[in-house]
Structure 1
Amino acid sequence: MADKTAVDFWFDPVCPWAWMTSRWIDEVARHRDIDVTWHIMSLAILNENNDMDEAHRASHKAGFAFGQLVTAIRDELGQDKVKAAYDALGQRIHLDGRGATDAAIFDEVVAELEIPQDLVERAKAGEFDDAYRASHVDGIERVGQDVGTPVVAVNGVAFFGPVISPAPKGDDALRLFDGVVMAAGVDGFFELKRTRTRGPQFD
C-alpha cells in the first residue's frame, strides 16, 4: 500500500480563497489517503507594515483575534479541534455571508466548540501570540513574502494556492490534486499563474 500523502495547509480564517481551497482539500480527503495538518497564518501579520483601507484593517484585526483563538486551541486541545474551529468560523464568515467583522462570531464559535473560557481569555491576553507568529512564519518562509493565503505543502514542498473558484468536486478535485502532487515532485518548479476572472463562488 502506498504511503499517505502529507498535506500541510496554512489558512487565515477571514480569507475566502483559503476557504475554498480548504473545501477542495476536504473533497480530496474523502477519496484519497492523505494526512492533513492544519496551520494558522495571518494576513494581519503579513500586511502589518503595509498601508490598507479601513475595511481591510478591520477584517485583519478580526482575523488576528480568530488566529489567537485557533493557536490556543491547537496548543492545548489538538489538531482535530483546529479543523473544527476553522469549519465553524468559515461557515459563519463565508457561507453565511456575515463577514469577519461580525463581533458575535467569536463567541458563537467558542460556545459551539465548548472552548474553556480560561483558554479564551489567555488567548485574548496574547499568551499564544509567539506560537501564532511562528506558525505564520513557518508557512510564509516556505513560499516567500510576495504571496498570501492559502499556503499548501505536499510532501514538504509548499506553494501559494491553488487559488480556485468554486472548489472543484469529484474527479475534477482529484485531477487537480494529482497535478499539485506532480508539480511538487519536480525540482525547480516554482510558479504557474493566470489572472483571476471571477470572485469567490461558495457552495
Structure 2
Amino acid sequence: MNNKSIDNVKNIVKTLNEQVPNLIKFNGEVAKQLFLKDEFNLNGKVDISVERKFLGEVLKHIPNIHRIILHDTERASSQYEELDFSKVTHAEIFDDEKLIMTIIVYDVENEEWMFRWNHNIRLPEKNIYFHSIKWDVDYIKPEIVLMYELLDPIDYHQLPNYRSVIDSLSYYQFVILRLVVGDERINQALISEKKAI
C-alpha cells in the first residue's frame, strides 16, 4: 500500500476512534496483531466489525473522497437503495482503486452475537471482543476472526498467519474454533499457509 493510502487509512481510523469508538471493533490482521503482540499496526488494509444497526452511523464518518461499495448476499453496489440492508455482509472502502478497509457487518439478537453462516452459533455480544488497554481499542477475539477467515468468501488480502494465532489460543478458544469450522478446514488452512510461506 502506498503512503497516501496508508495516511488515508490512519485518518479514517482516527476519525472513527474519535467519533464512534464504541461502535467499531478491529478485525482481521489488526485484531490478530493486537492479540499476538499488542501492536496496533495500520500500515496496510484494515478490517473492522460493526453491528448492523450501527453501520449507517459508522459510514457517515468515512470521508466522501472514498468510494464505498456495499455487498449483500447477492450483489455489490455503491447505491445503498439497490441493496437489501438486512442482507448486507460487508462494505469495502477504496482510496482511488485501492481497497483500504473492509467493514464486516454482524448481527445481534437478544444481546447475542450470531455467526453469519450459522445463526445457531451464538455468543453473548460482550464475549466476542477484547479491549486493548494500551491502545484503548476493542478488537474481535482471534477464534472469531479465524472463523470468518477460514469460512467466509470475503478476500482478506493478507498473508496467512494461522499457525501463530492457533498456537496462541486458549484451550477454550481452540475448542470453539474447532466446533465451528472443523478439523479438516483448520488443517487445510495450516497446509495452505505452509505453502504460501
Flag whether TM exceeds 0.5 (same fold). Answer: no
| TM-score of the superposed pair, with normalisation by structure 2 | 0.26
Compare relative contact order (CA 8 Å, sep 6+) and give the higher one, 1 or 2: 1
| TM-score of the superposed pair, with normalisation by structure 1 | 0.26
Give the number of the structure whose residues are more often helix, by fraction. 1
